[in-house]
């Protein structure tokens, strides 16, 4: 596996293009877990060259949102990426992607204002901007994102459609632990008791999905589960529609850690 830290090194590693070899891109912020492994494997199955980015993007963190405390373990991430079959790992410094004087931003309106956007203003501006930069730098045929971040997935898809970016966005199912907790790099910040409390998120979503199938209100059912777990502080719990799908989405704080999750209620899996 090659490692690139600058745009120049990235471009050199991707040249010359191999005829008929499609490039797959997996944008990440590191702290790799089995959810990332699923993304890498999906790219490996479909693409001749797999590129992953490892970049804790400061532009998608607001004040007090934990940029400095975000989990980082580059040495371990390099080992995981190589083990799973990543061909090229791009690990830029912030100044490499946002040099002095940088002042151009991408904003996907409407979609960026609900749910996460309501609680994290400016977050999706940072996501959209860095994704577009990576699409231009890597020129992938496909890019891979997890369904756990369903709003982000929808925003990236709209970015690609609206700006005619020649990349196919692939969605990979949420990976969960044996107890149902959606895997997240932030899970390492949970202590033992908080990890038990966090299981209420997936239980709430499961209860909401079951209520929906029975013709009842999924939000009411999910709220009842969360109300029984004092260690969870919900921020939002509501039905949203992304890419023709109805999902029940939630965000909550468990201790000082903020977690998100969702479950599909209606619609085909695009």
- The pLDDT tens digits of the residues spanning 156-209 come to 999 999 999 999 999 999 999 999 999 999 999 999 999 999 999 999 999 999
33 is catalytic: no
Is a pLDDT exceeding 70 seen at residue 268? no
Both tokens assigned to 158: 């709209």
Q: Provide the residue range defining the domain that includes 65.
A: 2-172
Residue with tokens 């029940």: 248
- DSSP for 115-131? THHHHSTTHHHHHHHHH
219-228 core/surface letters (b: 16 or more CB in 10 A; e: else): bebbbebbee
Q: Which of 33, 36, 123, 136 is catalytic?
A: 36
pTM of the model: 0.96
pLDDT tens-place string over residues 4-22: 999 999 999 999 888 889 9
Residues 113 and 36: their CA atoms lie apart, in Å, by 27
Same domain as 33, residue 151? yes
Domain count, the chain: 2
**Residues 149 and 193 occupy one common structural domain:** no
Q: What is the pLDDT of residue 28?
A: 98
| pLDDT tens-digit readout, 19-57 | 889 999 999 999 999 999 999 999 999 999 999 999 999
Domain assignment of residue 180, yes or no: no
Question: Of the candidates 139, 172, 205, which is a domain's last residue?
Answer: 172
Flag whether pLDDT at 270 surpasses 70: no
> Roughly how many angstroms between the first and final C-alpha of the chain, as a whole number?
31
Phi, psi dihedral angles at 150 (to 5 degrees): -65, -35
Same domain for 147 and 41, yes or no, is yes
Tokens representing 173? 């199912």
- CATH code for the domain in which residue 257 is found: 3.30.1300.10
Q: How far apart are CA 112 and CA 143, in angstroms?
A: 20
| pLDDT at residue 269 greater than cutoff 80 | no
Strand 232-242 and strand 245-254: pairing? antiparallel
- 3-state SS, residue 80: helix
* Domain identity same for 107 and 22: yes
Backbone angles phi, psi at 127, to 5 degrees: -65, -50
């Amino acid at each position: 596996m090659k490692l690139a830290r600058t745009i120049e090194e990235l471009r050199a590693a991707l040249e010359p293009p191999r005829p008929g070899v499609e490039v797959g891109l997996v944008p990440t912020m590191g702290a790799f877990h089995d959810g990332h492994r699923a993304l890498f494997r999906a790219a490996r199955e479909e693409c001749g060259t797999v590129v992953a980015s490892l970049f804790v993007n400061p532009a998608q963190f607001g004040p007090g949102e934990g940029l400095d405390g975000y989990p980082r373990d580059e040495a371990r991430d390099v080992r995981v990426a190589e083990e799973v079959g990543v061909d090229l790992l791009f690990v830029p410094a912030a100044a490499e992607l946002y040099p002095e004087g940088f002042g151009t931003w991408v904003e996907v309106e409407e979609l960026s204002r609900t749910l996460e956007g309501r609680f994290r203003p400016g977050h999706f501006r940072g996501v959209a901007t860095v994704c577009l930069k990576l699409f231009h730098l890597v020129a992938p045929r496909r890019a891979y994102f997890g369904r756990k971040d369903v709003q982000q997935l929808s925003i990236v898809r709209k970015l690609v459609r609206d700006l005619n970016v020649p990349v196919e966005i692939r969605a990979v199912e949420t990976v969960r632990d044996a107890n149902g907790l959606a895997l997240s790099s932030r899970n390492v910040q949970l202590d033992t008791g908080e990890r038990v409390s966090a299981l209420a998120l997936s239980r709430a979503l499961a209860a909401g999905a079951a209520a929906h199938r029975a013709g009842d209100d999924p939000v009411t059912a999910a709220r009842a589960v969360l109300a029984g777990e004092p260690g969870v502080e919900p921020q939002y719990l509501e039905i949203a529609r992304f890419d023709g799908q109805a999902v029940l989405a939630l965000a909550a704080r468990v201790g000082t850690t903020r977690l998100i999750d969702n479950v599909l209620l209606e619609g085909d899996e695009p």
